Structure 1
Amino acid sequence: MPSEDMLDRGDKEHRPSPIDVHVGARVRLRRTLLGMSQERLGEALGLTFQQVQKYERGVNRIGASRLFDLARVLDVPISFFFDDMPDAMGGSSAVTRRIAGFAESQEGFEDDTLHRRETLELVRAYYRITDPSVRKRVFDLIKSLTPVD
């Protein structure tokens, strides 16, 4: 009969690493912000969209050369994929403090607000406004519509 320890190790082999999940989520975030499909990203990397899905879910670990290619295609520094990583996963405490400060200032927001499709579409639309003065007015309008604490 296998020991409890052996059962635990076998089970862990099938669960994605929290770091792989975080990096995959950052890939998805950037791809979505660019309005790029999984298929298009896959084509740029010589992968199928299913492989991209597995990377984004953290099921498949992203190797160094693939991470380099992703950074190039998504036009971000490699460090982008590790930004906002919690301390428990090896993130810097300064980053964690910034996240905590942001979360406190955004009371009532769900934890996944920044990853929701609606938020990403809003950000993309906002940055498609080319006139800086119009973009500033839209920003001021949105702020004026929120409740004052």
Structure 2
Amino acid sequence: MAAKRTLLNPVDSQVGSRMRARRLVLGISQEDLGKAVGVSFQQIQKYEKGANRIGASRLQKLAHALQVPISYFFEGMGVGTSDTESDDLMAFLATAQGLTLAKGFMRIKSPIVRRRILEFVASVADD
């Protein structure tokens, strides 16, 4: 018997990716988010991977728990257009490294230090 191969829906993947990014920014575990909306942490994992679709009422609960409007999950999804830079940014922020970098950068108060870090990153990226 051949293994069943499931194709992920791009909308479900986008919603899940943005859900994960927001959860990580807030420092909420999958288990705690699941409890807040009445599902298991395994279900949260499936939502974040885009493997399972999220119903409207559950999406509303997730938006409330993550302190965002429902539209947050769909930002950057133009009709008939592709915003790969935005998608790449959200994917990066959904990683532990991306989140750590973003949080650390936000804690830097000096505009001069921030500018120097940006210049350094730009110079390294050009290599």
Instruction: Tell me the TM-score normalized by structure 1.
Output: 0.66
Residue equivalent to 1:117: 96
Structure of greater relative contact order (alpha carbons < 8 Å, 6+ residues apart): 2
Structure 2 stretches lacking a partner, 5+ long: none
CA deviation profile, 1:39-87 (whole Å, cap 9, x unmatched): 11112112210010011111211011111111111111111101122xx
Residue equivalent to 2:31: 39
CA deviation profile, 1:104-136 (whole Å, cap 9, x unmatched): xxxxx9994344321111212333x3x8xx253
Q: Is 1:144 matched up with 2:119?
A: yes
Verify the 8 A CA contact 1:126 1:135 in the aligned structure 2: no
For the aligned residue pairs, the C-alpha RMSD in angstroms reads 3.0
Residue equivalent to 1:79: 71
Determine helix, strand or coil for the equivalent of 2:8: coil
Instruction: Tell me the TM-score normalized by structure 2.
Output: 0.75
Identity %: 43
Q: Which structure has the larger Rg over C-alpha atoms?
A: 1
Q: Quote the offset at 1:145 in angstroms.
A: 1.6
Structure 1 stretches lacking a partner, 5+ long: 1-10, 86-90, 104-108
Aligned letter for 1:16? L
Aligned letter for 1:45? V
Q: In 1, Cα distance between the equivalents of 2:28 and 2:89?
A: 25
